[in-house]
């Protein structure tokens, strides 16, 4: 991944982070490598951490997380409930 690509992904994350954090079950937003079937694809993405995944048809429209933002892939990863130690 190039520095230019990383700068672009950081800018897109910063632009949408607050909006994503307001969605149901979202507990974090970061940058990482997209995963499919538990395996890394090597593709840089915005990673949205959720307590648990919910079928699309059960979500309110305002809580649907887009598959991409400004051309940057978005990867939803279930992490459970986060607690400070």
Quick: pLDDT tens for 3-26. 899 999 999 999 999 999 999 999
Whether the predicted model's global pTM rises above the 0.85 cut: yes
Give the C-alpha separation, 51 to 81, whole Å. 5
Q: What is the pLDDT of residue 82?
A: 75
Alpha-carbon distances, residue 33 vs 7, 16, 29, 84 (angstroms): 15, 18, 13, 25
Q: What is the pLDDT of residue 9?
A: 95
pLDDT band at 41 (very low <50, low <70, confident <90, very high): confident
Read off the tokens for 44: 């840089």
* CATH fold label, 3-78: GMP Synthetase; Chain A, domain 3 (3.30.300)
| All structural domains of the chain with their residue ranges | 3-78
Among candidate residues 27, 28, 23, the one with its CA nearest the CA of residue 59: 23
């Amino acid at each position: 991944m190039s520095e230019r690509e990383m700068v672009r992904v950081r800018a897109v994350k910063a632009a949408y982070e607050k909006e994503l954090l307001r969605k149901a079950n979202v507990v974090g937003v970061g940058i990482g490598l997209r995963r499919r079937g538990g395996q890394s694809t090597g593709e840089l993405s915005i990673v949205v951490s959720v307590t648990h995944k919910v079928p699309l048809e059960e979500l309110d429209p305002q809580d649907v997380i887009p598959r991409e933002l400004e051309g940057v892939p978005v990867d939803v990863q279930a992490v459970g409930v986060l607690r400070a130690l």
